[in-house]
Amino acid sequence: MTASSLAQSSIASSEKLIVALDVPDVAQARKMVELLGDSVGFYKIGMELAYGGGLSLVEEFSRAGKQVFVDLKLHDIGATVEKAAAQIARLGARFLTVHAFPQTLAAARRGAEGSGLQVLGVTVMTSYDDADLAAAGYRLHLSELVALRAMQAREAGIAGLILSPEELSATRALVGADMLLVTPGIRPAGAALDDQKRVATPYDALSRGADFIVVGRPILSAAEPRQAALAIQREIAAALAGPNTRPTE
């Protein structure tokens, strides 16, 4: 069994799809969750919804048996990050993102201690490429920066990483089977890329070692969101079934 299959073996295939509730308010979020029904059991609350009152949904969804990923990408002085992580932990979220800087990672881990909250370090945003990093003053190439931050996150003892599909295989080989790899930038075949630069299909992301994939607009903007989610679930199941199982388009 490969490292990626070991990491994925304890996660039910139906849990691997995380739907990003990138909507402006609580009412629209509840409507989408109701529409998707049992096709999805894991939701991401990002900045747009959180700042529109969406943090109240963490407890609500958790009580309803859903899992919740709070995607705030925290980055501040250690004491602030630690206290913020502790607050998110009290709400019952499963995942919380912070930027993968060593002090930030360590602070978030301290804040989550003793709870069910798992901290994920954001390596490099999926909307960035090498030119964007150079413009921001980074001397490392994108793949080098992701590798550095992955190792620092492992040393900090956090649960996992946020990274693009392009870095999945190399990062899995680098960090081993124990860290969770959570991948945004997922676009089913034929879907618009929008503002993403480093993307993959659900099948390819899972095949490269992702434990979870995050999908927003391809589901939220679909004419039939539930059917779009079910199609992605079928693609996930095909990837987990092994090689030569790629679904036909």
The catalytically annotated residue of 66, 73, 83, 197 is 73
Half-sphere exposure of 142 (CA within 13 A, CB side): 19
Stretch (H or E) spanning 62: helix 56-63
Q: Is 73 annotated in the active site?
A: yes
From 116, 107, 37, select the one nearest 70 (Cα to Cα).
116
Is residue 149 within 8 A of residue 180, CB to CB? The reply is no
- Which residues make Cβ contacts (< 8 Å) with residue 15, sequence separation at least 6? 41, 42, 67, 212
Residues in the chain: 249
Catalytic residue numbers read: 73
